[in-house]
Amino acid sequence: MSFYVIKLGGSLIGSARDLMKVLFSLSQEGYSFLVVPGGGPMADLVRELFSMYSISQEAAHWMAVLAMEQYAYLLADGTGAKLTARVQRAEGVRVLLPYDALREDDGGIEHSWDYTSDSVAVLAAVRLRAPLIKATDVDGVILGGEVVKEIAASSLMGMESCIDQGALRLLKASDRSCWVLNGAESQRFVAALKTGEGGTIIRGC
């Protein structure tokens, strides 16, 4: 069984369920996925409330995790995927409801805006010893106007990129990798997944 943890970002909300349906089709071919949802516009609202009403980092963190849960329901709706509150390997396509899992154990994640849903996905991949794909709306890490095929997480620290700073720290600490792929065009995503070509590999080493 080919198992992947996939972070499905809020930037893909317009096409996300099409991609989810494609993942479900792949599950008929022996692939399995644990999808970690982004926060989408729900998390953006939490950021606005944080800046407007002096909400603590602690409260904002858990509000943002609950925003991920709302996006999870959107991703699972009508796509064949099942919701799960557990970080575990399973056949088919599961979408993580992260709140309970993180309340039980979110070791390694700081409660700050440096650690977003990207970091939750890295944490899940580390715990499951599984390959991690970040599906987003860009072709990979872009430096100097070009997509970089491979880069060390340490090289992106302190820089604005398509992955959060906390995730980079976790990748470095765990010596794991994250494959950044464009998920806006589902068939192109599938081709990359099957051939191993395209996007950017962010290596923890």
- Res. 163: pLDDT tops 80: yes
Residue 124: the pLDDT is 97
- Res. 1: pLDDT tops 90: no
Mean pLDDT of 23-46: 96
Q: What is the CA radius of gyration of the chain?
A: 16
Mean pLDDT of 51-68: 96
- Res. 50: pLDDT tops 90: yes
What is the domain partition of the chain in residue ranges?
2-136+181-200
Mean pLDDT of 5-13: 95
Domain 2-136+181-200 has CATH 3.40.1160.10: yes
Q: Specify burial of residue 85 (Cβ count, 10 A radius: 0-12, 13-18, 19+).
A: middle
Mean pLDDT of 121-137: 97
Residue 203: the pLDDT is 97
Mean pLDDT of the residues in the chain: 96
Q: Are 136 and 167 in contact (CB under 8 A)?
A: no
Q: Are 8 and 16 in contact (CB under 8 A)?
A: yes
Structure tokens at 60: 């904002």
Tell me the pTM.
Answer: 0.96
pLDDT in tens, 78-127: 999 999 999 999 999 999 999 999 999 998 899 999 999 999 999 999 99
